Amino acid sequence: KTIVFATSNKGKLNEIKEIFKDSAYEIISMKDAGVDIDIDENGSTFEENAFIKATAVYDITGGIVMADDSGLEVDYLEKKPGVFSSRYMGKDTPYEAKNLHILELLKDVPDNMRSARFVSAICCIMDDGEVLETTQTLEGKISHEILGAEGFGYDPIVYISDYGKTCAQLSIEEKNKISHRGKALRQMKIMLNRKLEE
Ligand code: ITT
């Protein structure tokens, strides 16, 4: 069975393809499914936005669709940028600038006040319209400098103490093992496998 992954973010697509590479489900991008739409993510939670994205594509294809809505919550910034993570400072602003800005906002903030987390809400709509959902997080701390070149987005400033590295210093396999999206996608994989047995 084929699942269209409703994203235009290549980083997300690479992560899900890695996780579903041994699955009975084949992941294809929105582009490869011939769907070219701009989705207005006007929800106020990650869950709402994941549902909005999945629904927009399902309304066109009628087949199985999965979507991820995710972001970074910085506790010191009252959980910003949160659902606005990709639009923070304008959607076309390079991540280097966004990351430097967050480091500047936390310039003299001590380590015990630098907690942050990545959140990923995954929504899957089955071909019969049934909705499956899960949300998972990855706890970290905002680093003091930009470190690493793997991954995407805010990865270079999210420091994972257990690894002594930022997410951008982890390989895609290492990141998937512990990440918000890795955990949510594996959970979703279990739910989807149950569907195959029904
Ligand atoms: P789609 O909506 O097309 O999927 P997007 O990038 O706009 O792509 P979101 O609206 O969910 O996706 O925004 C999520 C943003 O949060 C993303 O652009 C990153 O800046 C950040 N983010 C989420 N997960 C991340 C991760 O694993 N590593 C780094 N940054 C992440």
* The pLDDT value given to residue 64: 98
* The pLDDT value given to residue 179: 98
Q: Please report where in the chains the tokens 């990923």 appear, as a residue.
A: 120
Q: Is 20 annotated as a binding residue?
A: no
Q: Is 154 annotated as a binding residue?
A: yes
How far apart CA 191 and CA 84 sit, in angstroms, is 28
Number of domains, the chain: 1
CATH code where residue 48 lies: 3.90.950.10
In the reported structure, the alpha carbon of residue 63 is separated from the centroid of ligand 1 by a whole-number distance in angstroms of 24
Nearest to 59 by CA among 28, 37, 41, 42: 37
Residue whose CA lies nearest to ligand 1 atom number 28 = 155
How far apart CA 164 and CA 128 sit, in angstroms, is 45
Q: Is 80 annotated as a binding residue?
A: no
* The pLDDT value given to residue 190: 96
Q: Please report where in the chains the tokens 């590295």 appear, as a residue.
A: 165
Residue whose CA lies nearest to ligand 1 atom number 13 = 86
62-79 confidence digits (pLDDT tens): 999 999 999 999 999 999
Sequence letter at residue 44: S
Which residue range is the domain that position 15 belongs to?
2-197
Residues with CB under 6 A from ligand 1: 7-9, 12, 41, 53, 68-72, 85-86, 118, 151-155, 167, 179, 181
Q: Does the annotation mark 69 as catalytic? A: yes
- Complex ipTM: 0.98
What are the tokens at 102? 């967050």
Give the angle subtended at the CA of 67 by the CAs of 37 and 174, to the nearest 5°.
Answer: 125
141-157 confidence digits (pLDDT tens): 999 999 999 999 999 99
In the reported structure, the alpha carbon of residue 198 is separated from the centroid of ligand 1 by a whole-number distance in angstroms of 33
pLDDT beneath 50: ranges in the chain: none
Q: Please report where in the chains the tokens 């003091």 appear, as a residue.
A: 144
Q: Which residues contact 44 (CB under 8 A, 6 or more apart)?
A: 83
Catalytic pick from 22, 69, 111, 127? 69
